[in-house]
Chains A and B, each alone.
Chain A
Amino acid sequence: SQQGEEDPQALSIQEGENATMNCSYKTSINNLQWYRQNSGRGLVHLILIRSNEREKHSGRLRVTLDTSKKSSSLLITASRAADTASYFCATDVFSGYSTLTFGKGTMLLVSP
């Protein structure tokens, strides 16, 4: 069964606006990762946040993690049309070795 649940399932915004996607999960995790997928192609690793971290930045991306609420958010600031993609969170649980459990994803559409 899937660990993460993203919301919203779909998000449509204008260029220049910020986009926020949320991810909730059910069990304790080692880390949480965000990926982007363009048009059913391969996954691009965006950012990893460890369970002892609360916030992480990478360029226009900001990720937060609240382990007490078992949730994470991905903020894309000043969005561009090229940010149009599906975004997935994936959790790395304490399974003895690293396997990822993916959420259902958020489809982001950024209109020019």
Chain B
Amino acid sequence: SAVISQKPSRDICQRGTSLTIQCQVDSQVTMMFWYRQQPGQSLTLIATANQGSEATYESGFVIDKFPISRPNLTFSTLTVSNMSPEDSSIYLCSREYEQFFGPGTRLTVL
């Protein structure tokens, strides 16, 4: 099975700050995905990160709030900008082809 790692695994941040989450996959893939899981909820797709092009955002998510980078075929970052307590969630990345998921980043915003 694929190996996907994320950093940090968890963080506690202050309102108004930003956090960048890193995702590394063990093999080259064209597409990586970022999901959000709010407390007690299911996963919702934030955006699709395609190497070499702008990320594609789902309805309700915008680039200014969740800028994404995809500098190569094994790495992506998601930034949660100008955070508020409502951003407290688990953020997970995944890759195409049977979409294995990273371990997630548990974010708490105070």
Contact = CB atoms under 8 A, between A and B. Distances in A.
Contact of B96 (A33, A48, A98): A98
B99 A33 contact: yes
A102 B104 contact: no
A45 B104 contact: no
B43 interface: yes
Contacts, number: 55
A78 B52 CA distance: 47
Nearest to A48: B98
A105 B42 contact: yes
Contact of B103 (A41, A45, A92, A98): A41
Residue among A33, A92, A100 with most chain B CB within 10 A: A100
Contact of B42 (A40, A97, A102): A102
Interface SS of chain A = strand
A97 B49 CA distance: 11
A2 interface: yes
Interface string A76-112: 0000000000001010100001111111110000000
Contacts of B100: 45
B104 A41 contact: yes
A43 B33 CA distance: 14
27 contacts: A2-B42, A35-B101, A40-B90, A40-B104, A40-B106, A41-B103, A42-B92, A42-B101, A42-B102, A42-B103, A42-B104, A43-B43, A44-B101, A45-B99, A45-B101, A88-B43, A90-B99, A98-B31, A99-B33, A99-B45, A100-B33, A100-B43, A100-B94, A100-B99, A102-B42, A103-B42, A104-B41
Closest A-B pairs by Cβ, 6 of them: A42-B103, A43-B101, A102-B43, A42-B104, A102-B42, A104-B42
Interface of A: 2, 33, 35, 40-45, 48, 88, 90, 92, 97-105
